[in-house]
Amino acid sequence: MKNRLLATLLALSAAGHSVAAAETKPAEKADAVKRHPLRGVVTSVDAERSTLMVKHEEIPGVMRAMTMAFKVDAKALAAVKKGDAITGLMSRQGKDWVLENVQPAAAKP
C-alpha cells in the first residue's frame, strides 16, 4: 500500500516536471531574440550586403536615435528605397542588427 502511494506520487511529480518543461521551452526560444519596434527613414540601400541604413528614432531602453545599418531580407531590400519612412522590428542576431517586418510608415506630419 505504502509503496503504491509512493509510486503514484513519483509518477505525478515526474509528469508535472515534463509538462512544465514542455511549456517553458517555446517561451524560452521566443525570448532568445528580443525584438523592438522601430520607426525611421531609409538613408541608403546596400543590396550587396543586404543592409539598409536607417535613421531611426529612439528605442526607449535600447538605443538612442541614430543612423545605422540593419540586415534585412530580400523582400524588404527590394521594397524600400532611399528616403522611405518605415517601421519594423529590430533585434540583435549574432553580430548583426536585423530589421524584420519592414513596412512603409506614414510620414510624420
Residues that bind Cu ion (CB under 5 A): 63, 66, 68
Confirm if 53 and 72 have CB atoms less than 8 A apart. Answer: no
Q: Cβ of residue 65: shortest distance to Cu ion, in angstroms?
A: 8
**Nearer to Cu ion (CB atom), residue 79 or residue 97:** 97
The residue among 7 and 66 lying less far from Cu ion, judged by its C-beta, is 66
Q: Cβ distance 95 to 50 under 8 Å?
A: no
Q: Shortest approach of Cu ion to residue 32 CB, angstroms?
A: 21
Query: What backbone phi and psi angles, to 5 degrees, belong to 69?
Result: -95, 140
Q: How far is the CB of 51 from Cu ion (least distance, A)?
A: 13
Q: Would you state the cell numbers that stand for residue 70, as one nine-digit string?
A: 540593419
Residue with cell 527590394: 78
